[in-house]
Amino acid sequence: MAEENQEATLELKPTRKPPHFVLIHGMSLGSWCWYKIKCLMEVSGYTVTCIDLKSSGIDPSSADTLTSFDQYNQPLIDFLSSLPEQAQVILVGHSAGGLSVTSSIQRFPKKICLAVYIAATMLKFGFQTAEDLKDGVPDLSEHGDVYELGFGLGPENPPTSALIKPEFRRKLLYHMTPQQECALAALMMRPAPLLALTTAKMEEEKGQEEEEEQVPRVYIKTLHDRVMKPEQQEAMMKRWPPSQAYEVDSDHSPFFSNPFALCGLLIKAAVSVGSI
């Protein structure tokens, strides 16, 4: 732990501008879930922005009204569009937030100096095939009926939102997480736009294919994950190999269960590609 703390509080070189980390939450969470990482990184001198995607965190939208991935991802698109042309950020996505990272690489390759996936869906073109769904969507069927579903388009149509039931959250999401973080999540979690997420598809922008491939990607594998299982994470890395891969001893939520180690790995990833 001492080594992890030392990594997490790495001093910045005075001659370089501190890198700007942009953190993207996963399904049912919001910018609030990054509070420990934001604190650790900011006291070490880094710039950190946490985004609430549509229907998440304090965004007032209802998940049942979102029918496309671009709708859900609009706050991140707006943020990246607002950056100066020469600005570059390190984009970090957790779980379903990996879809937002990949989409952003394709839309804004010049504004992203590093993409980091934490236990995240890392599929180059989103959900195009049955193999994509197998690798990139958590399969929790072995645990029974774990979701509360919403049907914004009517009961005769596929569900539009989903939220893991309270009785399953500790077991699946937070089994290595301190109890106080579980209590926080119980207060803050919201239904996720299931239809918008599971229909996410990406296409390479014409003329930008080479620029997209030049954005280095790092994958952080969560070793004790019961949601995005380690074998799913391995399958996605095998299909679209990242520049670097690291492991963290955590459940699906390392920002709660092992924040010092995760913070250290984010800094290590930035160092590995010369962003620090």
Catalytic residues: 95, 225, 252
Say which DSSP state 229 is in.
Answer: -
Tokens 């996505």 map to which residue? 93
Q: By C-alpha distance, which of 120, 114, 165, 118 is closest to 143?
A: 165
Q: How far apart are CA 84 and CA 37, in angstroms?
A: 25
The CA distance from 268 to 248, in Å, is 13
Distances (CA, A) of 273 to 40, 87, 243: 21, 17, 9
* Ramachandran quadrant class, 82 (left: phi over 0; alpha: psi -120 to 50; beta: rest): alpha
- Tokens encoding 36: 């420990």
